[in-house]
Structure 1
Amino acid sequence: MATMKQVAEKAGVSTTTVSHVINNTRVVSEDARERVLSVIQELRYIPSAVARSLKNDRTHTIGMMIPNNSNPYFAELIQGIEDASFELGYNIILCNSYDDPKKQAAYIRVLMEKRIDGLILVSSGSDEDLNMLLANEVIPKVLVDREVTGVAADLIEADHVQGAYEATRYLISLGHKRIACVAGPDTLLPSGGRVAGYQRALKEAGITVCDDFIVHSDFTSEGGFNAFQKLLTLDSKPTAIFASNDLMAIGGICAANQAGVKIPQDLSVIGYDDIALASFSTPPLTTIAQPKYQIGQLTAKTLVERISNPDSQVRRTMLTPELVIRQSTSRPAGIK
């Protein structure tokens, strides 16, 4: 790999001149600039981002931490973040914690060592080490979906309570009264918000909230499969299930099929997120659509603004999810 010294020698200039051309930090004669740029192209010289950051105090790199890259929701979120970041002149370093708060804290330290300009975090849950790290670190940061205790940072999220409320209210409008909720881990704020929205809709409709009808599990297809299996063994089975994400709903539909329960004739199912796979499940999944790409774009733009204005007031932005009706929901059997 070519070095700055080699570029300088071949262009007949000093390494300082090469540095000024690359960083645009001082006026250089047009002749010298053209020679340097020509040699850079010829030798395919790539400037060191770390060296440049020491001079400019910027790497134009953003670190991003997500809980699980196997979840299509995060893939669609990342696309919005990457597109907006690229347009704004920033690169992304992506880390995956696999839902482990301790691994999350370790990766964030690695990102700090890479001299990132800012951090986007979708938290994997609360951890004292993580909370202290983020609370003490002055790097610009934006939280997505999930707050972190004791950390004052910009937050971008969709309204989890309202989304779950709309999902449950739709099931009630179809005539369902025995409605269960397959919730995510009870340590995560989105899980709590979606349970709260589900409970609110039931209470408004005068329907008793049954503890047996709320089952917590992982935000995975396997988690949904196991939760649906549990609900389908109850003596008084639900006629509808609100699943807290689409992967859970799709895994749950698989469990229902294995149990001989027809969707939606015997059991209505509604998911959350509207991942691309939702419209290709069997049957196509009714769900609550989160504006994933919009959240991603807004997240990147908010972080770049925070990098430019680190002392501006912390903002919380909440977007509105929407109900998408497909074929996994219908009126309960016996109701026309």
Structure 2
Amino acid sequence: MAKMSDVAKKAGVSVATVSRALCKPETVKPETRKKVEVAIQELNYKPNMLARQFRTNETKTIMVVVPDIANPFFSRVLRGIESVAHKKGYQVLLGDTSNNIDQEQRYLEILKQRLADGMILLTARMDKDSLLEISQDYPVVLACEYIEGSDIPIVSIDNISSARKVTEHLIKLGHTRIAHITGPTNVILSRDRIKGYKQALETNDLFYEEVFVQEGDFTYESGFNQMSKLLALNNRPSAVFAANDEMAIGAIKAVKLQGLKVPEDIAIVGFDNIKVSSIFEPALTTISQPKFEMGNVAMELLLKILDGQEVKRKQFVLADELIIRESCGGKVNSTI
């Protein structure tokens, strides 16, 4: 395996010059830098990244923490993060908490140990004070989930407005008995979607029934189970708003197993616009989040912090879109 001294000898420069060409190329003359680059290619030299970390006090690695890697929503956000990170020479290290708050806390230790330069959290379920304390000492950005009253840079949509929008769509279609399968209520975005649902009912003078609100956990199985409970009610709902697409698909499965049809017997809408929502039968009406853009903006924010720039704007609320498909029985405006 080629060493830095071999590169220096072949390029006709000192080892120190090779080191500068790798770590601070702007300090090396273009013609000298070119010689070093040619030597590196010919010798297939692989720089020792650990040694470089000790010299520069940076890892060129960022940590991204997700609550559940099995949820397809996060794959598009991750691609948005990586598209910016790779252009800037950063590697992305992925951590999956499996919705475990203790695991989320353990991933923060990676920052404390300087094994990553910064972190993007796509989950924020730990103690608020602990997270705020970490963010004061280390570069941290929140995306998708968020914390109320936080000074941490945040990238999200307006979940209250989005939930109100999709619920009002069901009301405009003539539904008055609308149920809601929520996400975990210890998560703020779940609580915000409940608020939006309630606001839509109140604005349209519809009665809020507690039995129509069932708590899921964002999984297909919970959507199926909570829908089964709703179907067992004497006065079952005519429409259901599920807080994400996976639960909506589980709900549709439960309806079909009862010999009922969607949307003829029960209309169902979801949230997130994951890829399968457009190809499922019936195709799912849902709120589309700008997942790739969320990742882009979050990574760009983190890079500014890493570069020592002042981030004056701390909250970025991106636009969502109501995608109307067959599952609600409304006029279709998109099938993509």
Does TM, normalized by the shorter one, top 0.5?
yes
Match of 1:273, SS state, is coil
Gaps of 5+ in 2: 331-336
- Residue 293 of structure 2 is aligned to residue 299 of structure 1: no
Match of 1:2 in 2: 2
Give the aligned residue type for 1:301: E
Q: Deviations over 1:188-223 (max 9, x none)?
A: 011000000000000011111000011111111111
Q: Distance in 1 between matches of 2:266 and 2:243?
A: 16
CA distance in 2, matches of 1:249, 1:30: 58
Give the C-alpha shift of residue 9 in structure 1: 5.1
Match of 2:59 in 1: 59
Provide closer, same or farther for how the CA distance between residues 27 and 73 of structure 1 changes in structure 2, counting only shifts above 3 A: closer
- 2:229 corresponds to 1:225: no
Q: 1:143 to 1:129 in 2, by over 3 A?
A: same
* Contact kept? 1:286, 1:328, Cα under 8 Å: yes
Deviates more, 1:114-123 or 1:221-230: 114-123
SS at match of 2:326: coil
3-state secondary structure, aligned to 2:281: coil
RMSD in angstroms over aligned alpha carbons? 2.4
Which moves more between the two structures, 5-14 or 314-323? Answer: 5-14
After TM superposition, the structure 1 = structure 2 runs for residues 1-336 of structure 1, keeping only pairs within 5 Å, are: 1-8=1-8, 11=11, 13-24=13-24, 33=33, 35-123=35-123, 125-127=125-127, 131=131, 134-135=134-135, 138-148=137-147, 152-313=151-312, 315-330=314-329
SS at match of 1:328: helix
Task: Normalising by structure 2, report the TM-score.
Answer: 0.90
Whether the aligned pair in 2 keeps the contact of 1:164 and 1:194 (CA below 8 Å) is yes
CA apart distance, 1:124: 5.0
Give the Å deviation of 1:150. 7.7
> Residues 63 and 298 from structure 1, CA distance in 2 versus in 1: closer, same or farther, beyond 3 angstroms?
same
Give the fraction of aligned pairs with identical amino acids, expressed as a percent.
Answer: 35
- TM-aligned CA deviation for residue 16 of structure 1: 1.8
Aligned length, in residue pairs: 330
How far is the alpha carbon of 1:264 from its aligned partner? 0.5
Using the TM superposition, give the Cα deviation of residue 166 of structure 1 relative to its aligned residue in structure 2, in angstroms. Answer: 0.5
Q: TM-score, normalised by structure 1?
A: 0.90
How much has 1:49 moved relative to structure 2?
A: 2.8
Any idea what SS the aligned residue of 1:208 has? coil
Q: Is the 8 A contact 2:111 2:138 kept in 1?
A: no
Question: Mean alpha-carbon deviation: is it higher for 41-50 or for 142-151?
Answer: 142-151
Amino acid of the structure 2 residue aligned with 1:200: Q
Letter in 2 for 1:93: L
The 3-state SS of whatever aligns with 1:288 is: strand
Moved more, 149-158 or 190-199: 149-158
> Equivalents in 1 of 2:266, 2:282: separation in Å?
12
**Contact 1:126 1:149 (C-alpha < 8 Å) held by counterparts:** no
| Paired letter, 2:307 | S
